[in-house]
Amino acid sequence: MEFITAGAVPEEMPFMPAIVTKGGTTIWLSGATAFPLVHKHPHDPAELKVPSGIAEQTRACLNNLRTALEAAGGSITDIVEVTIYNTDMDAQDEVNKAYMEFFGDHRPTRTHLGVNRLVGTELKIEISAHAVISE
């Protein structure tokens, strides 16, 4: 396995943004929120400002996933599975619009779950994914 830090200092992070399996074909992406992908642990509240709207937070999540994915050698079209954790299921149309803008014609499998809370009280959405690099 190869651990992808995407610029993080491993000793300061409680997780890796991405892990590439042996052989380099499968990439496991940690859940991304609208928080900066690389940030201090324990959290520094001044560093963790996020947009208030769920569509903007969705875009930030997806861009964070892209950063980790590209650091691991993948691209958006390599994503085969997405899991969305959403604190406001009534806003899923806004999430879907931002999601479809990001993925374009690419449609990975997806699970969209309603949850009570995420790691930050202002966070509305978290997205994780798996990618397979085709040869």
Residue range 61-83, pLDDT digits in tens: 999 999 999 988 999 999 999 99
If pLDDT is split at 50, 70 and 90, which confidence band does 47 have?
confident
Who contacts 38 (Cβ-Cβ below 8 Å, separation ≥6)?
5, 6, 7, 8, 13, 17
pLDDT of 1 over the 60 cut: no
Percent of the chain clearing pLDDT 70 (strictly above)? 80
State mean pLDDT over 105-130: 95
Give residue limits of the domains in the chain. Answer: 2-133
DSSP 8-state code for residue 7: T
Q: Given this structure, which CATH class describes domain 2-133?
A: alpha beta
- Tokens 């806004």 belong to 94
Backbone angles phi, psi at 32, to 5 degrees: -115, 140
Looking at residue 85, what is its pLDDT? Answer: 98
State mean pLDDT over 114-120: 94
Q: Between 33 and 36, where is the model more confident?
A: 33
pLDDT of 92 over the 90 cut: yes
Distance between CA atoms of 8 and 40, rounded to whole angstroms? 9
Q: What is the average pLDDT value for the chain, to the nearest integer?
A: 86
Whether pTM > 0.75 for this model: the answer is yes
State mean pLDDT over 19-31: 82
